[in-house]
Amino acid sequence: MQAYVISTGTELLLGETLDTNSVFISRCLTKLGIKVIGKSVVGDNRDNIEKALRLGLESADLVVCSGGLGPTRDDLTKQVACDVLGCELELRPDEEAKIREFFAQRRRDMPASNLRQAMFPPEALVLPNPRGTAPGMYLEKGEKLLILLPGPPREMEPMFREEVEPLLRRKLGRTGRAVQTRVIKVLGPGESKVEEMLGEILDDPQGAAIALLANEGEIDIRVTREGENGDEVQRVIKEVESRIVRVLGAHVFGFDDDTLPVVVARMLRDKGLQVAFAESCTGGLLAKLVTDPAGSSEYFWGGVVSYANEAKVGLLGVKEQTLQQHGAVSPETACEMARGIREKSGADIGIGITGIAGPGGGSREKPVGLVYIGLAHADGVEVKELRFLGGREAIRMLTAKTALDWLRRYLLGRG
């Protein structure tokens, strides 16, 4: 199955809102084994929406469109889609009741225009939206499949996961072909290095499709296989995965929906260990990543953002002599920051980060992108020197992820 993705909304064209919907939808479709062959972003204009829909329906088996399902005059997607497919809209009493109840619970009058959201072709399947007033639509017309989703991500993403994915899985099952995808997540070597390391596997993927996708220092290796026999497809996926993991070893930090913070959180929790951070150039970003998963108080003591030298001395116990002799950005300072936060917190592990994120502040001896990370544990302190390229935010994110990955590798070494 091939898919075409459409995002509607003038605000997307003006740059006022990022088109995150098409990225989310494409990732989900790819995981299902559906190939996305094209995308369109169009404004709230009847002619342009119609052109995008016709192009999508001519090019692909499946068209997924987000946005334009609201009650206002510029919400045109459903009407235009039905015109293109030759479908009539009719009022669904049960959907009307849901919308009226939505307004009643909020003690608000329902504008008559909201009834447009309760109108669907007789042959369409309505996708419920408990988070808003705009239901989605799933419509099979001949050999084509059209899916309409609301624009707000807080409504669209749950609808896709809860309603669309099960429907697509059933439809894919009816085709008689099994499709499976496995994503292997890597951090450490760059994309070209990973490709070089996997050379023999890429040359002989055993009938699987292997794609490398780079994302903020991480590499996703997506392995997809399809065939008539589900067991055989699964066997090949597992075999290719095993080959990749054998080659990349500890560079692999997770699979599928794993994130680095979740993986590290699981390891800390399983080992009953606690960590604390002392951050300078990352400005608390490492702490933010670690506290994104729920329940982080079980393994994260807290952190100190020590930008000024006075904070490094007063809060972490960094020696003034160290700062005078070696500077704030030095292995010696990173070492004392890591040791200081470990001693202050009583945590099992302390991590200290200092560096130059730019765009200014660099020199010939200490250029922008130079970072030192210290890791303090019961047996001492280790320090790494890193050199990153990119803008300020990229350097900060790469530093935080590298520190988190070093913590993961340290925990692996503890068995």
DSSP 213-247: EEETTEEEEEEEEEES-HHHHHHHHHHHHHHHHHH
Please provide the DSSP assignment of 139-178 as one string: EEETTEEEEEE-SSHHHHHHHIIIIIHHHHHHHHHHTT-E
State pLDDT tens for residues 299-328.
999 999 999 999 999 999 999 999 999 999
Q: How far is CA 48 from the centre of its chain?
A: 30
State pLDDT tens for residues 146-200.
999 999 999 999 999 999 999 998 888 765 567 788 999 999 999 999 999 999 9
Q: Tell me, what amino acid is at 96?
A: E
Domain boundaries, the chain: 2-174, 178-255, 260-413
- Of 115, 130, 129, 21, whose CA–CA distance to 75 is shortest? 115
Instruction: Decide: 180 and 225 in contact? Cβ < 8 Å.
Output: yes
Token code pair at residue 135: 């239901």
Percent of the chain's residues with pLDDT above 90: 81
H/E run at residue 283: none
Instruction: Decide: 341 and 276 in contact? Cβ < 8 Å.
Output: yes
- How confident is the prediction for the chain on average, in pLDDT? 93
Distance CA 247, CA 312 (A): 41
Instruction: Output the pLDDT for position 229.
Output: 82
The fold adopted by the segment(s) 2-174 is Molybdenum Cofactor Biosythetic Enzyme; Chain A (3.40.980)
Confidence of residue 227 (pLDDT cuts 50, 70, 90): confident
317: alpha, beta or left? (left if phi > 0; alpha if psi -120 to 50): left
CATH code, residues 178-255:
3.30.70.2860
State pLDDT tens for residues 46-97.
999 999 999 999 999 999 999 999 888 889 999 999 999 999 999 999 998 9
Distance CA 99, CA 91 (A): 12
The fold adopted by the segment(s) 260-413 is Maf protein (3.90.950)
Q: Which residues have C-beta within 8 Å of that of residue 392, sequence separation ≥ 6?
A: 357, 358, 359
Q: How large is the average pLDDT for residues 210-220?
A: 91
Instruction: Output the pLDDT for position 92.
Output: 92
Instruction: Decide: 146 and 139 in contact? Cβ < 8 Å.
Output: yes
In this model, does residue 138 exceed pLDDT 90?
Answer: yes
Instruction: Output the pLDDT for position 231.
Output: 85
Task: Give the pTM.
Answer: 0.75
